[in-house]
A = this chain, B = another copy of it.
Amino acid sequence: MEKIIKITSHQNPNIKQVIKLKKRRERNLSSLFLIEGYRELKRAVDAQEEIVALFYSPSHFLKSNEQSLIDQIKSNGGDTFECAKFIFEKISYRDRPDGLLAISRQRKKPLAELEKILSSKKNPFLLIAEKIEKPGNLGTILRSSDAVGVDAVIVCDSCTDVYNPNVVRASVGTLFTVPVIEGTSEEIFALLKKYKVSILAATPSAENIFTEVDMKGSVAITVGSEQYGLSDFWMQESDILVNIPMNGVADSLNVATATTILLYEVVRQRKTS
Contact = CB atoms under 8 A, between A and B. Distances in A.
B260 A147 contact: no
B260 A149 contact: no
A62 to B, nearest CB: 11
A254 interface: yes
Interface of A: 43, 46, 136, 140, 143-149, 170, 172-174, 177-178, 209, 211, 244-250, 253-254, 256-257, 260-261, 264, 267-268, 271-272
B178 A147 contact: no
B177 A257 contact: no
A253 B260 contact: yes
B177 A254 contact: no
How many chain copies? Answer: 2
Contacts of A145: 248
Provide the main secondary structure of the chain A interface.
helix
Given A146-B247, A211-B268, 20 more contacts: A144-B253, A146-B249, A146-B250, A147-B247, A147-B250, A148-B248, A149-B247, A173-B250, A174-B248, A174-B249, A177-B248, A177-B249, A178-B248, A247-B267, A256-B256, A256-B257, A260-B260, A260-B261, A261-B261, A261-B264
